[in-house]
């Protein structure tokens, strides 16, 4: 089988029922990303974009495509931030890929660590805690990324979340009944009332994970190939990920439908809940919440992390 241009097939896109050669595939993925950026106004004039870089395929392709856009614009700047949680060999290897890529592309990279910022690395933090590692890791990493992006005067904080990630988040919040977090999903998360919040953007949100792998391989982008974090096996997200993979395999296009449905719901739900004053702002961290103290702060309240949290 061949691509519509006549060249050899590189990728079969089941949800569209088409086959694409390498060149047409790359072009098509980039077209979809740029359309998402335009449609949802992810970028604006004079933006200084900070990309959260882990060294995995998603953040590497996100940085690559945004850098391609910024290169053609005189008013925009770009840099990357990587966080070292201190998860031994795994993080060392992913960070090496991040450094290698930034050097290759001549993009400034800023590196921060849990150890320097919170006085402890992740294994030390979770030593006597009941909750799983990912809960602390996610909360603290997001917190640091926002803080460091702001300190470096970024106007946008870009994440390499793909279509699968977004569908997983929708399911996760649905299963745990977390309306606050559900209402914060979408291609762009901003809160003009909270000055310290750097608007977050997700340029790859409409690209399935499988296509990100194929995109990196087509362009020979260096990335750390596997999610081998020793704590990864604990996460509920992993169970949902497996389920969604199976669903997409059997019914191509399911992931798009899930995200599309959430996109239809979220704007009206936001209006409804903001109007009735159900969404307030957390007294401790300032994030939107239906209660005075958000779940994140509540989570940290009874642990040793309170001391660390107050420092930041
Ligand atoms: Fe952090 Fe969990 Fe991801 Fe490991 S799997 S990097 S602990 S969020
Ligand atoms: Zn082609
Ligand atoms: Zn809070």
Q: How far is CA 31 from the centre of its chain?
A: 20
| Homologous superfamily of the 44-275 domain (CATH) | HUPs (3.40.50.620)
The pLDDT tens digits of the residues spanning 153-196 come to: 999 999 999 999 999 999 999 998 988 889 889 999 887 766 67
Give me 232's structure tokens. 């990864």
Are 2 and 12 in contact by the 8 Å Cβ rule? The answer is no
Note the pLDDT tens digit of each residue in 110-166: 999 989 987 888 888 888 766 778 888 888 898 889 889 999 999 999 999 999 999
From the number of C-beta atoms within 10 Å of its C-beta (0-12, 13-18, 19+), residue 129 rates as middle
The CA–CA distances, whole Å, from 58 to 34, 216, 235 equal 16, 9, 19
What is the pLDDT at residue 181? 85
**Arithmetic mean of pLDDT, 187-210:** 88
Mean pLDDT of the chain: 88
**Is the pTM here over 0.75, yes or no?**
yes
Closest to 232 measured CA to CA, from 111, 122, 125: 122
Residue 91 CA, closest ligand 1 atom number: 6
Residue 232 DSSP one-character state: G
Query: How close is the Cα of 2 to the center of ligand 2, in Å?
Result: 8
Instruction: Return the domain boundaries, the chain.
Output: 44-275, 277-312
Give the model confidence (pLDDT) of 237-296 as tens digits.
888 999 999 999 999 999 999 999 999 999 888 888 766 656 566 687 666 566 787 666
266 bridge partner residues = none
- Residues contacting ligand 1 via CB (< 6 Å): 87, 133-134, 137-138, 229, 231-232
200-201 and 156-158 strand pairing: parallel
Q: What is the pLDDT of residue 265?
A: 93
3-state secondary structure of 114: helix
Helix (H, G, I), strand (E, B) or coil at 229: coil
SS3 per residue for 49-65: EEEECCCCHHHHHHHHH
Sort residue 46 into left (φ over 0), alpha (ψ -120 to 50) or beta: left
pLDDT in the model for residue 136:
82
Supply the residue whose CA is at minimum distance from atom 6 of ligand 1: 229
According to the model, what pLDDT value does residue 166 have? 96
**Closest atom of ligand 1 relative to the 137 alpha carbon:** 1
Could you tell me the distance, in angstroms and rounded to a whole number, from the CA of residue 12 to the centre of ligand 2?
12
Which pLDDT does position 31 carry in this prediction? 97
Separation of 239 CA from ligand 3 center, angstroms?
A: 27
Report the nearest atom of ligand 1 relative to the CA of 229. 4
Q: Whose CA is nearest to atom 5 of ligand 1?
A: 232
Instruction: Give the DSSP letter string of 171-204.
Output: HHHHHTT-HHHHHT-SSEE--TT-TT-PPEE-TT
Q: How far is the CA of 17 from the centre of ligand 3 (A)?
A: 45
Atom 7 of ligand 1, residue of closest alpha carbon: 134
């Amino acid at each position: 089988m061949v691509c519509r241009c006549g060249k050899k097939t590189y990728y079969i896109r089941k949800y569209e029922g088409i086959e694409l050669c390498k060149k047409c595939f790359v072009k098509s993925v980039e077209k979809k990303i740029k359309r998402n950026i335009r449609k949802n106004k992810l970028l604006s004039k004079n933006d200084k974009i900070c990309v959260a870089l882990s060294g995995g395929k998603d953040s590497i392709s996100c940085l690559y495509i945004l850098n391609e856009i910024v290169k053609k614009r005189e008013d925009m700047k770009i840099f990357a931030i990587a966080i070292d949680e201190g998860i031994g060999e795994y993080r060392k290897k992913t960070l090496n890929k991040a450094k290698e890529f930034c050097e290759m592309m001549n993009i400034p990279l800023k590196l921060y660590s849990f150890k320097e910022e919170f006085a402890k690395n992740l294994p030390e933090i979770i030593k006597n805690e009941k909750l799983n590692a990912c809960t602390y890791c996610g909360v603290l990493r997001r917190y640091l990324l926002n803080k460091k992006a702001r300190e470096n005067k970024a106007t946008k904080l870009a994440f390499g979340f793909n279509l699968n990630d977004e569908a997983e988040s929708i399911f996760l919040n649905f299963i745990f009944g977390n309306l606050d977090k559900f209402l914060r999903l979408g291609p762009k998360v901003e809160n003009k009332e909270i000055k310290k919040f750097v608007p977050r953007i997700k340029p790859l949100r409409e690209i399935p994970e499988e296509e990100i792998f194929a995109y990196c391989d087509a362009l020979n982008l260096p990335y750390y190939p596997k999610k081998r974090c020793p704590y990864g096996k604990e996460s509920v997200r992993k169970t949902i990920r497996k389920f969604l993979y199976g669903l997409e395999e059997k019914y191509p296009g399911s992931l798009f439908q899930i995200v599309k449905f959430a996109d239809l719901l979220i704007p009206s739900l936001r209006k409804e809940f903001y109007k009735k004053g159900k969404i307030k702002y957390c007294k401790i961290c300032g994030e939107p919440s239906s209660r005075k103290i958000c779940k994140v702060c509540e989570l940290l309240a009874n642990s040793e992390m309170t001391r660390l949290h107050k420092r930041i």
